[in-house]
Amino acid sequence: MSVALGTTRPLPVRTTPVGDPGDLLASLPRSSPYAWIRNGEGIVGWGEAARVAVPPGSGRFAWAREWLAGVLGGAGFPGADNGGPGTGPVAFGSFTFDEDAPGSVLVVPQAVLARRDGRAWLTTIGDAPLGTVTPVLDPGRISYGDGSLTAPEWEHVVARAAARIRDGELEKVVLARDLVATAERAIDVRLLLSRLARRYPECYTFSVAGLVGATPELLIRRTGQEIESLVLAGTTARGTGPADDLARGAALLASAKDRHEHECAIASVRTALGPLCSSLETPDEPELLVLPNVQHLASHVTGRLADGASVLDVVAAMHPTAAVGGTPTDLASKLIRELEGMDRAGYAGPVGWIDANGDGEWGIALRSGLVRGRRARLFAGCGIMGDSDPAAELAEAQAKFRVMQYALEG
């Protein structure tokens, strides 16, 4: 197969089976690492065969698909390697939460190393660099400062949002806050990735253009015509011991506020996926997803696409879900712009990868930070309902910050 990549002559693409590479993250060079890892499997990449800033606007996902079609071989991506999802050329991507905000990006790495279901392979484009693996560096002491709002200011925003919900303006809104971390030395993204993958193996550890994190939420996985989504909404902190942990989980399952929040999220997924699918299944009751720092209400959604839409088409239909925006979506998005007081950048936006067949995996960029040199903006968000308590929501956000704080501090 050859890939155009905007050059006058197509560049050759080679996919070669390899032996077990061990820790995929250990193969990454320090410069611009790309990653999507869960339970030790997934894909990593380095080098840049092609990169584009996706223009903001309501048509950005369609624009991205058109660009990828040209780069990876034409509409429908013909000629892709048939070894399954993630073989052949792959593009990593990150889209901003707000469709009108700049910062969305797609990158086709020159080299991709992947492992899935006992198979491993290396894909290279042209004369791809092997990547010089240097020792992972520690950033040293980390200090923290307020982001766009102080904690009391954010609590005030939560109270205002809850009052608007009680007044009947909308059902739910998700409000985020940021925290600024500054290190003694430049932050090595590989260190963050290795810590996150080790501590949160059930999450999707990702790195795309400086956006790094470990998200528990799978927005969409497309494998042929089959799709899968994991919906999370409703959260409680882990307990101080096994008994407290069980009690907190039981209380979460019984919480009217959290169950309603979860039902809003499931309804938004049904609405988004219904027109694209010939079949769609959602569970009657959520289950508990227990992570090292929090517990979530979780529901697995599965379906079959009706018309061969690519994974990006599904992402376009689903974003933003009620789990990261609110209900109704348009009113929640308007309230976020009015009250939140910050640019989310890629936080709570789609992040993931797509291959030349239109298959791929995309998550919601939660539990994440935007790394630039010695600084990192950390993000956390909470679903606000009419009976939300600002102090409790602040505590939940602080619990979510601990994921990236652990990645920075160890």
Residues labelled catalytic: 172, 217
CA dihedral over 46, 103, 206, 299, signed as positive or negative: negative
Distance CA 60, CA 313 (A): 11
Distance CA 216, CA 259 (A): 18
Which among 333, 366, 320 has a CA at the least distance from the CA of 347? 366
Which residues are CB-contacts of 183 (< 8 A; sequence separation ≥ 6)?
A: 139, 140, 141, 142, 374, 375, 376, 408
Residue 179 structure tokens: 């925290």
What does the angle CA 71 – CA 72 – CA 76 come to, to the nearest 5 degrees? Answer: 115
Which residues are CB-contacts of 338 (< 8 A; sequence separation ≥ 6)?
A: none
Q: Which neighbouring-strand residues pair with 90?
A: 355
Q: Which phi and psi (to 5°) does residue 366 adopt?
A: -100, 170
Which among 343, 380, 124, 346 has a CA at the least distance from the CA of 235? 380
CA dihedral over 215, 216, 222, 223, signed as positive or negative: positive
Distance CA 384, CA 367 (A): 18
Neighbour-count burial for 324-347, b at 16+ CB within 10 Å, e otherwise:
bbbbbbebbbebbeebbbbebbbb
**Residue showing tokens 């080299």:** 111
Residue 135, amino acid: P
Which among 204, 159, 175 has a CA at the least distance from the CA of 97? 175
**Residue showing tokens 């903006």:** 377
